[in-house]
Structure 1
Amino acid sequence: MKKLYFLLIIVVANFGYAQIEDAWVYFNDKPSSATFLSNPLTMLTQRSLDRRTAQNISLDITDVPVEQTYIAQISAATGVTVMAKSKWLNALHIRGTQTDIQALTALSFVNNVKFANHSLNPGGKFSQTPKAIKPVNKQYDVQVNYNYGGSQNQIEMLNGHLLHQQNFTGQGKIIAVLDSGFTGVNTVAPFQNLITNNQILGGYNFPDANTNYFFRHNHGTNVLSTMGGFADGQLVGTAPSAQYYLFITEDVNSENPVEESYWVEAAELADYYGVDVINSSLGYFAYDNTAYSHQYDDMIGNKTFASRGVNMAFNKGIVVVISAGNSGATSDPHIATPADAIGALTIGAVNSLEAYASFSSIGPSFDGRIKPDVCAKGLQTTVSSTTGTITTSSGTSFSSPVMAGMVATFWSAVPNLTAQQVVNFIKQSADNYNAPTTQKGYGIPDFQLALTNALNLEEVSSNKSFVVYPNPAENQITFQLENKQKGILYLYDVLGQNILTKEISENNNAIDIQNLSNGVYYYNFESNKVFKGKIIKK
């Protein structure tokens, strides 16, 4: 009888566990939006507002926090636990039984519920036959390498040393690192410059819901060292003078969609603090529960929760640098999410001779976009361990922060650029720009070339002979020209695709933008001079 009773307990427990689901609940509105938008400092820091002003990015309802009364009511709902929240997507990540979650749709302020288990959504696809849940191994192979000046190759490959020689080292820029943990950063020697100079500004541990971010795992420590580490004669990061926020979003003990939600929540907090660059050496494709897993046809740039978060961050003026992934030599070699995001600068890996590293995930995205975008050294990259030992490690986990640090260093040299311009200059400087491949994308950037090109950019704001108005606009944009001036206008979307070419003259100086989607567009006006700028369709 005891054995039977014990067996019954196991069956009931397993049945109950099987019914627990992850989901997102989306809301209809934000009733307090007018109050927040009229008081911007209740939503964002002054630095965040300044970054938007510099890039001509307007505040909108996505900047408004999720309605607190909605959070309270969902939290109080029977059998539902709130795991994370997103103001950008106006949603909560929740966990509970299918029945309890579905009951939330009866609330008047709930727009819809989307289950992480695709088969539970209307028209959802069924996953492969469920596999037994097994522990996920997120450890990384490390080889000890004490070669003097080991970081030289990874910096010189990008011509980053030329920017360093000009005293551009990331000063004035802030990088948010979204990772699995930063053990030892507060104690070991290669990070002491960051600690002593107060370059680590703060952070948060989302899985544990506390501020203990010097904790959990070594991966973020290795990653941070390629950007901000300094061990004289052994390791110099690509942005040693930048400041950093450290966010733990990854739970190394399991693989669950809540990590995507933690990621988006951390990106929102990074935006709040006014960061300029995000580095994330994380990717999501297969989950412990295969019913939650993504498929390659999900990699379309704006479908997954994480990719949508990346796109929002980029639209707020942040350059978002994402590792391509380490699946290149597997049966599923393509990029994971959020590397697929439209707004991501996705980084593949090469070796010391600039040849493709076979583990680096390949493109294109499922909808055919170039991915990865560019590459950096990811095979035997020089890093610091949690004990301060200078060693090497391999993976796009390290090519990504090498690049992210260079993004900050480049941007510190030309701080007036927009995030889109930064990304464009980096891609255009790469060695495969005119012949991108599925393995290396546009190839390896030359940051000195990018800097030279950026410094040659003509500032339209300083020339009174060319004025664009109104901007932002809803229906029509007019170009004010000098007498008898004329030229060709080229209009581009955020992907760099030409969507309009038109001759503009004194008597034909307007374009109709009614049919364009809301967002940011870029123009080149070419006459006897070249004028470049940005148009916002509202």
Structure 2
Amino acid sequence: MIKLKFILLFTILLVLHINGLDQIKKDKISKNVFNRLGTDLNNTLNIDDQIKLWIFFNSKDYIIENKQSTTSTGQTQTPSNQYKQIQSITGVNDDSIKRRSKRSINKKVPIFDETDLPVSEKFIKEIINDCNLNHEILSIKLLRKSNWLNSISIITTDKTIDSNDKSSSSSSSNENFQLNKVITCISNKKFVESIDLVSKLLNPQSGQDEIKEIRHHRFENSKNNNINDFNNPISKLLGHVKLLSSVQDDSSTIKYDKSFYGESFQGISQTSIDKLQRLGYDGYGLKIIVMDTGFYKDHDAFKHLKIIGEHNFIDNTNDTQEDPVENEDPRYSQNFHGTATLSVLGGFIPGKLVGAAYNASYLLAKTEIVEGEDTVIEEDNWIAALEWGEKLGASIISSSLSYQLYNYPEMNGKDSHLTKAANLAIYKGMIVVNSMGNKDYSIFGAPADGENVISVGAVDSSGRYAPFSSIGPTADGRIKPDIMALGVGYYIALSTSRSSFSSVDGTSFACPLVASGIALLMQAHPDWNTQQIYQAVLSTGSKASNPDPYVGFGVFNALGAYNFRPSVGDCYSTGCSNHGICCSSQCQCAPGYYGKQCQYKRVECGYRCQYDFNSICQSNNLGPSYTCVSQNDTANAILNQDPFSILFCKKSDNPTSTTTTPKPSTNFGGLIRIVISL
């Protein structure tokens, strides 16, 4: 009888445990975790010896009020003192504050908000100390902190698997058992909002991937000796160019043609960037962050470059350059991709290679690992680099890394962690320029799906669509790519030596070309906010009147964007293009339209959703559908709404939504919103 009671009690407890775990699955553990580990965490699986997890928190343990307050030491704080305290806590520098005050979408909002405050160290310590249950079998280690997403990334490492026997079933069983306990421990913390996988991708550098083709027959060494002292200020270098040039109209004026740009002239002139440079713009005063695989800073093209900061997010050092490997295939060099993109942005060897933003200041972030023929792409490094650059005052991010980590229905401008971070960067006054990727009809990559992210595709020298360039639209029907630029046969600095160059194909190189032109545009219009810049770029592209998911709004026109006059004021004065209504000074667009003034029409859902990605179009009995959802998403499978009219205003406070003015989340439990502004 006692044995029977014990068995019955054990059975009841087991059922309660499983039911509790099922509840945790639904509420806190993402489908990605279950897809990765199996639908039942109690199963024994053959899984890798390392797994990276996102842990999202639901609060921050800071309380800062917009009035006189008393510190723990009894001192009275005024708003001015609090402002300095907040700046010190967040690490946001003066340049970032100035950019936020000038460039942010809504200048009426505070300079600081909850997203700037650090992730709670108390929560982190509790996770690491309480949930590192058996570190001899499975250890957990803190990797990254994201203040913006209120999250951390951790890595779990199986310490029992011998390097020569990773297939041991007993080791796998032990690891999986411990991993289940770790996930359960974390999810039971009241301050934990959710758990997700850190998306990771092995991106082979071949065929139609991010480096489309490197033309070996065009490898060459520089024979240009016009510039002997690259350590001089750029103005002195340009003066030297004027004296050496034999094709000027006079000795005091540079002729911005092929004699100056060299092999870069085709891309520069196709986008009319040369015409902005004739007006005196060169990126001066702008900070640009470049996130890539690594940078060969010793190349002759960079001897003039103002590198004001760098960080290696792979090895946690302050050096983004790897030593060259003798006889290494340059495509598989850690320095290759970053060196190439940086040279398109700001390289400077007049007569050979010139990047338009050669007089900007640069922050370099190494975020990806090149392992032979593979590049290991992990999203937490990219997000950490973005937050780092924003704090240091970067105005533009050039990212030629397309993260094809998500399913197509998730490419809706708000679901991916990368896109959420990019949306917040734009909200804080940064311009995010991202390559579309080289997957042609396959999925394009995040964060290119962000509504105000400027996603860049590739064309050839005649302005024709490059067949490898990834196409749109987004899952919610927005036009992507946004803009196009030369990405076929682009001349770049090669990381094999200080004086090596080559030609390459890929949207990776169209992206920094557009970013360099936008740097000049921002220099020319220091008071334009991020939406106005986005509007100017799209409204003046070569296909602005007839955009499509292949080439977006057409080839970038820097001079046209410079001369554009973006709308000023709220929707009560500018209207909503007859496709929406004005709600609280912002346009609320009909479902078939998007944009600040509802000026862009969505692409109807159809073949691409259903056949390219094996998903379904949202059913709408009242008109066309513009949304692609997964086959299992029954909750969003039907939406009966007239896509061409909107009858009432609705409120949205989601910071990563695709509304015109995203707002930072205010759902951080005990935090009182900061409202101290300049």
TM-score over 0.5 (shorter chain): yes
Larger radius of gyration: 2
* Partner of residue 52 from structure 1, selected from 97, 100, 110: 100
Report deviation, 1:99: 3.2
> Residue 80 in 1 paired to residue 193 in 2?
no
CA distance in 1, matches of 2:452, 2:587: 21
Task: Determine the C-alpha separation between the residues in 1 that align with 2:182 and 2:432.
Answer: 36
Tell me, yes or no, if the aligned pair for 2:198 and 2:380 is still in contact at 8 Å: no
Report if the CA contact (8 A) 1:21-1:98 is conserved: no
Query: Secondary structure of 1:178's match?
Result: strand
Say whether the 8 Å CA contact 1:228–1:238 is kept in structure 2.
yes
Q: Deviations over 1:189-208 (max 9, x none)?
A: 111111xxxx1111111111
Deviations 1:5-56 (A, max 9, x none): xxxxxxxxx9675474322111111112528867232211011111111131
Shift of 1:391: 2.0
Match of 2:311 in 1: 204
Q: For 1:300 and 1:416, how far apart are their aligned partners in 2?
A: 30
Matched, 1:109 2:172: no
d(CA) in 2 for partners of 1:39 and 1:327?
47
Are 1:24 and 2:78 an aligned pair? no
* Distance change >3 Å, CA 135–CA 245, structure 1 → 2: closer
497, 504, 511: which is aligned to 1:400? 511
Taking structure 1 as reference, are residues 365 and 513 closer, same or farther at Cα in structure 2, changes over 3 Å only? closer
- The share of aligned pairs that are identical, in percent, is 28
Pick closer, same or farther for the CA change 1:82–1:115 going to 2, 3 Å: same
Residues in 1 aligned to 2:589 and 2:219: alpha-carbon distance in whole angstroms: 46
Q: Report how far residue 390 of structure 1 moved.
A: 2.8
1:338 equivalenced with 2:447 (yes/no):
yes
Of residues 166, 169, 176 in structure 1, which corresponds to 2:282?
169
Given candidates 250, 253, 257, the residue that maps to 2:368 is 250
1:506 is aligned to none
* Cα deviation, residue 342, structure 1: 2.3
Q: Higher strand share goes to which structure?
A: 1
Q: Does 1:360 align with 2:432?
A: no
Q: Which amino acid aligns with 1:313?
A: A
Output the CA distance in 2 between the equivalents of 1:516 and 1:305.
Answer: 19
Aligned partners of 2:555, 2:153: CA distance in 1, in Å?
A: 38
Question: Are the counterparts in 2 of residues 334 and 364 from structure 1 also a CA contact under 8 Å?
Answer: no
Aligned residues: CA RMSD: 3.2
Give the corresponding residue for 1:390. Answer: 501
2-structure distance, mates of 1:459, 1:373: 22
Partner in structure 1 of residue 4 of structure 2? none
Structure 1 residue 86, shift from structure 2 partner: 0.8
Equivalent-residue separation in structure 1 for 2:561 and 2:205 (angstroms): 39
Number of equivalent positions? 444
Gap change, CA 1:182 and 1:306, over 3 Å in 2:
same
Distance (whole Å) between structure 2 residues aligned to residue 89 and residue 135 of structure 1: 25
The alignment partner of 1:34 has SS state of: coil
Find the aligned partners of 1:134 and 1:434 in 2 and give their Cα distance.
Answer: 38
Distance 2:113 2:487 in 1: 38
Match of 1:484 in 2: none
The residue identity in structure 1 corresponding to 2:344 is T
Q: Deviations over 1:232-272 (max 9, x none)?
A: 10111021111110001112236666x11111111001110
Contact 2:437 2:457 in 1 (8 A): yes
Contact residue 377 and residue 398 of structure 1 kept, 8 A: yes
Name the counterpart of 2:536: 425
Decide whether aligned partners of structure 1 residues 135 and 46 sit closer, same or farther in structure 2, where only a CA change above 3 A counts: closer
- Tell me which moved more, 357-366 or 51-60: 51-60
- Check if 1:301 corresponds to 2:413: yes
- Say which is worse superposed, 222-231 or 47-56, in terms of deviation: 47-56
Q: 1:92 to 1:370 in 2, by over 3 A?
A: same
Instruction: Report how far residue 298 of structure 1 moved.
Output: 2.0
Q: How does 1:3-402 map to 2 (within 5 A)?
A: 17-18=47-48, 20-34=50-64, 39-42=85-88, 43=90, 44-55=92-103, 56=107, 57-58=109-110, 59-76=112-129, 77-78=131-132, 79-96=139-156, 97-116=179-198, 136-137=204-205, 140=211, 141-143=213-215, 144=218, 149-183=262-296, 185=297, 187-194=298-305, 199-215=306-322, 216-253=334-371, 259-285=378-404, 293-328=405-440, 332-386=441-495, 387=497, 388-402=499-513
2:329 aligns with: none
Cα distance change of structure 1 residues 30 and 256 upon mapping to structure 2, 3 Å threshold: farther
Once the two structures are TM-superposed, the CA of residue 341 in structure 1 deviates from its matched residue by 2.0
The 5 Å alignment of 1:445-464 reads 445-454=556-565
Partners of 1:521 and 1:177 in 2: CA distance: 26
TM-score normalised per structure 2 = 0.61
Contact 1:301 1:341 in 2 (8 A): yes
Q: Which amino acid aligns with 2:283?
A: G
- Which secondary structure does the structure 1 equivalent of 2:64 belong to? helix
State the AA in 1 paired with 2:143: M
Q: Counterpart of 1:193 in 2: which secondary structure?
A: coil
Alignment map for 1:472-511 (pairs within 5 Å)? 496-498=595-597
Structure 2 counterpart SS, 1:25: strand
Aligned to 2:231: none
Query: Secondary structure in 2 aligned to 1:370?
Result: coil
Question: How far apart, in 2, do the equivalents of 1:92 and 1:490 lie?
Answer: 35
| Alignment-mate amino acid for residue 527 of structure 2 | N
**Alpha-carbon offset, residue 65 of structure 1:** 1.2
State the AA in 1 paired with 2:101: T
Q: Which blocks of at least 5 consecutive residues in structure 1 are unaligned?
A: 1-13, 119-132, 286-292, 467-474, 479-488, 501-511, 523-535
Quick check: 2:299–2:493 contact (8 Å CA) kept in 1?
no
C-alpha distance after superposition, 1:122-154 (max 9, x if no partner): xxxxxxxxxxx9884478432226697110010
Separation in 1, partners of 2:319, 2:398 = 20
Could you say if the C-alpha distance between residues 189 and 376 of structure 1 is closer, same or farther in structure 2, counting changes exceeding 3 Å? same
- Amino acid corresponding to residue 452 of structure 2 in structure 1: G
In structure 1, C-alpha distance between the alignment counterparts of 2:660 and 2:292, rounded to whole Å: 32
Distance 1:38 1:301, change over 3 A: same
Task: Go from structure 1 to structure 2 and tell me whether the alpha carbon gap of 1:116 and 1:266 turns closer, same or farther (over 3 Å shift).
Answer: closer
Residues 452 and 232 of structure 1: CA distance in aligned 2, closer, same or farther (over 3 Å): same
Q: Which amino acid aligns with 2:469?
A: S
From the superposition, tell whether residues 358 and 518 of structure 1 become closer, same or farther in structure 2 (CA, over 3 Å): closer
Amino acid of the structure 2 residue aligned with 1:264: I
Gaps of 5+ in 2: 1-43, 66-81, 133-138, 157-178, 221-257, 323-333, 574-581, 600-647, 662-674
The Cα shift of 1:339 comes to 1.5
Cα 1:368/1:477, change in 2 over 3 Å: closer
Q: Cα 1:110–1:436, aligned 2, differ >3 Å: closer, same or farther? A: same
8 Å Cα contact 2:514-2:556 kept in structure 1: no
Could you report, residue by residue, the CA deviation over 1:272-295 in whole angstroms, capped at 9, with x for unpaired residues? Answer: 00110001000122xxxxxxx522
Does the aligned pair in 2 maintain the 1:379–1:394 contact within 8 Å? yes
Deviation at 1:366, TM superposition (A): 1.7
Equivalent residue number for residue 289 of structure 1: none
| Structure with more relative contact order (C-alpha pairs < 8 Å, separation 6 or more) | 2
